[in-house]
Amino acid sequence: WAWLIALLFLPEALATWVFARPRWARTRYFRFLCSAGGALNIAAMMAANLVGFGDEGVDAMLAKFASRQGAVFLGAAFVVLNAHLQVMFELREHERRQEFAARSDAAAKSEVSQAESTASRPSPSRAKAS
């Protein structure tokens, strides 16, 4: 079953390679596309983990998902996973914004301290006059 999980990383790597271009990243639906792919990947990995417990687990799961209740569950699970991934993407963006703000603040403080140290030093022309 471990090879199956490793195999599931191939579509993710391919999608990352195809859709991680600046052209796609600027679209409004890029984050939703990423979260939908992530939700499908998580669901596939959960199914792949069942293989580790034997084929009976996968057969039972597929039989239950073939029913109306199973389809409703799959739809609801997909929505919940998608929402969770959207929240995680927003948390990552928030961290990135904080990091950018911290770097901007540090650069501004550095510029201010350099300006203050330059202003407090006597200029060479003033030093000669004294």
Tokens matching residue 127: 């030093």
Distance CA 93, CA 98 (A): 9
User: Cβ distance 35 to 93 under 8 Å?
Assistant: no
User: Cβ distance 39 to 78 under 8 Å?
Assistant: yes
- Tens-digit pLDDT profile for residues 20-43: 777 777 777 888 888 888 888 888
Q: Tell me what the mean pLDDT of segment 48-54 comes to.
A: 76
Distance CA 65, CA 67 (A): 5
- The single-letter code of the amino acid at 61 is M
As separate numbers, helices (DSSP H) first and strands (DSSP E) second, the chain gives: 6, 0
- Tens-digit pLDDT profile for residues 63-107: 888 889 989 998 999 999 999 999 998 998 899 888 888 888 777
For the entire predicted model, the pTM comes to: 0.66
Q: Tell me what the mean pLDDT of segment 47-62 comes to.
A: 76
